[in-house]
Amino acid sequence: MREARRIALLFSLLSISFQFGGVAAQTESETDADCPPLINATDAYTGIGQLRAYSSCTAWLFDTPGPGSAPAFALTAGHCVVLYGGRRYATEVLVGAAPGFRWRVIFNYFVDTVESQQSVDVAEISYATMSGDDLAVLRLNATKEDLRSRGLTFLPLAEEVPAENEEMRVVGIPFCPRVYPRYMRETAVCHRAGVSDVIEHSWYGFDRLSNNCTGIHGGHSGGPVLNKEGKAYGVLGTGALHATSDQCGLHMPCEVEKDSDGGTSLDTDRVYSSNVTALPACFDEATGTLELQREECYLRESASAEEGAARAVILSDVRSPTKSENVTWSVALDTSSVVEVRYKTGRAGLVDCRHDQGYSDPLPVSDLEAGQPLEALPVPEEEGSHVLCVLGGSGNSTHPEQPVSSPSMVIVRVDNTPPQKGPEITTAGRWVRLHYDPPEIARIRYATVAPDEGCPPANEENSNAYRPYWWRFRVTEPQRLCTLSADSADNWQLSPIATDLPGWSPQGIE
């Protein structure tokens, strides 16, 4: 109890010194001191809530221009409201889309306000993208004055991004390890880092703001990133704090290195957010409505707000990561959105999709004899991350081409190298478990032989000697375990890795 009080006091002092709105509280069910829940101290965070959509994320009310009778808007991450099972969603921008069934935001989500939580329905996905930014603007089924009358506070937006190394923090409603139920949580004081382009899975993010905050978990996505005055300057998107390898992939974002060699690097001390300081310019001051066609609105070009503007929506492409052998980009385009495209490819860090130099001449999208122009385009053989940049065109000079400042992009990571390690092995009584660790350990085959025997050779003639591993197997006598592993690109180890397993005893495998 004394330790709990010290932790609560520490976070309380941090909150007071930062002029923020929550005080940490320790509960009996809490087992992770990295994730203390907040009690409501000053009402500053009552407008931060749990978004219940395709996934559970954080969303927050932000103070838009316009009268109190204007609709209320909330911000969250784009990947929280866009299904990302295919490439369409990595390149498409949603504008004025209908939300899913019973989408809502639950506000006032503190540990001590369970009885006074406020549920507000999502009326519209006014804007959402995972291309360039990871951002969504949600119109709620309520006005600003209605929500203020219910005790909810709108976060002000900062006018500029803090300088590097300035103090900041993140607020959200995460899935903390070994902690239930979920409540609002606030990171300890951390610092803003740099600005980088970021690659993660299918997505390319421009100019992401990084910080060194810890204690970030699933569910934090969409949360406000706050400066030391408590004003929001970013929307939390992703981070590599829980990366299990040095390979870029889902939940393992990499920074793009824009030097002479290009390439990417994974920093496990970084969390990334999208800059929203310029967002007020997208709202009409008289009506408080989101108007993407405003010339000063930076979302305008990505939304193709001009009538008739084209945007290349990519329906499918090559699996990533992949081996380069006889592989093409296999990109299929939505022919209802464009009639021609321009494209270019290059190694991440060496190609700039937002620069017109290097794009091809316009190519027709639909040719019954030749097929679509990007389907047979070969993937580079060089290992690493590569980018395909695509600009859609309408074929009509009176309608604008997709702006080069907002290209459609496809990412592929070429990996021709088999895993350099075997799976982690754990035991419990008679049972042995092998642990997957994608993208490096994505598939496992195994064999067991006598302790004094060598492992069976790994070749096609001897393929039946190794059986696929699914869950666990039992060991009663001393054995030699032989494993072969493959990564997500399907590169199999050429030589098995041997591990000697002693026999079972009442105390377990020793």
pLDDT digits (tens, 9 = 90+) for 3-37: 333 333 333 323 333 344 554 443 434 445 566 77
pLDDT score recorded for residue 241: 82
* Burial letters 1-28, b for 16+ CB under 10 A, else e: eeebeeebeebbebbeebebbbbbbbee
Angle at 265 between CA 263 and CA 268, to 5 degrees: 170
pLDDT score recorded for residue 4: 38
pLDDT score recorded for residue 306: 53
Beta bridge partners of 122: 140
Name which of 221-225, 489-493, 503-507 the model is least confident about.
Answer: 503-507
Residues whose CB falls within 8 Å of the CB of residue 393, separated by 6 or more in sequence, listed in order? 310, 338, 339, 340, 341, 342, 362, 401, 402
pLDDT score recorded for residue 459: 81
pLDDT score recorded for residue 401: 83
């609560």: which residue's tokens? 8
pLDDT score recorded for residue 168: 94
Provide the residue type at 342 as one letter: R
Angle at 123 between CA 121 and CA 127, to 5 degrees: 125
pLDDT score recorded for residue 119: 97
DSSP string, 324-389: -TT-B---EE-TTT-SEEEEEEEEBTTB-TTS-TTPPPPEES--TTT--TTSSPBPPSSSEEEEEE
pLDDT at 487 over 90: yes
Mean pLDDT of all residues in 245-264: 85
pLDDT score recorded for residue 22: 52
Long-range contacts of 8-11 (CB under 8 A, 24+ apart): 8/36, 11/36, 11/186, 11/188
pLDDT score recorded for residue 3: 37
Domains of the chain, start order: 2-282 (2.40.10.120), 308-416 (2.60.40), 424-501 (2.60.40)
pLDDT at 325 over 50: yes
Answer yes or no: are the C-beta atoms of 254 and 151 closer than 8 Å.
no
* Burial letters 463-476, b for 16+ CB under 10 A, else e: eebbeebeeeeebe
- Smallest Cα–Cα separation from 377: which of 354, 360, 402? 360
Mean pLDDT of all residues in 427-451: 93
**Distance from C-alpha of 163 to C-alpha of 147, rounded to nearest angstrom:** 33
Helix, strand or coil, per DSSP, at residue 227: strand
pLDDT at 205 over 80: yes
pLDDT score recorded for residue 9: 34
- Smallest Cα–Cα separation from 502: which of 423, 460, 448, 457? 448
36 HSE (CA, 13 A, CB side): 21
Q: Give the rounded percent of residues in the chain with a pLDDT score beyond 90.
A: 56
Name which of 58-62, 164-168, 315-319, 471-475 the model is least confident about.
Answer: 315-319
Tell me the per-residue pLDDT of 61-101, one tens digit each, with 9 for 90 and over: 999 999 999 999 999 999 999 876 556 767 888 999 999 99
Residues whose CB falls within 8 Å of the CB of residue 366, separated by 6 or more in sequence, listed in order? 335, 339, 372
Kind plus residue range of the DSSP H or E element containing 4: helix 2-18
pLDDT score recorded for residue 316: 76
**Distance from C-alpha of 30 to C-alpha of 322, rounded to nearest angstrom:** 42
Task: Tell me which range, 199-203, 205-209, 338-342, is most confidently predicted by mean pLDDT.
Answer: 205-209
Residues whose CB falls within 8 Å of the CB of residue 20, separated by 6 or more in sequence, listed in order? 44, 45, 169, 171, 186, 226, 230
Mean pLDDT of all residues in 387-395: 89
Average of per-residue pLDDT values in the chain: 85
pLDDT at 298 over 80: yes
Helix, strand or coil, per DSSP, at residue 106: strand
Mean pLDDT of all residues in 367-377: 76
Name which of 86-95, 261-270, 350-359, 413-422 the model is least confident about.
Answer: 86-95
pLDDT score recorded for residue 43: 79
Confidence of residue 179 (pLDDT cuts 50, 70, 90): low
**Distance from C-alpha of 407 to C-alpha of 105, rounded to nearest angstrom:** 32
Which ranges of 35-130 would DSSP assign to H, the alpha helix?
Answer: 88-91
**Distance from C-alpha of 179 to C-alpha of 473, rounded to nearest angstrom:** 31
Which CA distances in Å does 361 have to 277, 390, 471?
Answer: 36, 12, 52
pLDDT at 108 over 70: yes
pLDDT score recorded for residue 155: 97
Rg (CA), the chain: 26
- Smallest Cα–Cα separation from 43: which of 116, 120, 108? 108
Name which of 39-53, 203-217, 222-236 the model is least confident about.
Answer: 39-53
Number of H helices, E strands in the chain: 3, 31
Tell me whether strands 71-76 and 363-364 are parallel, antiparallel or unpaired. unpaired
pLDDT at 305 over 60: no
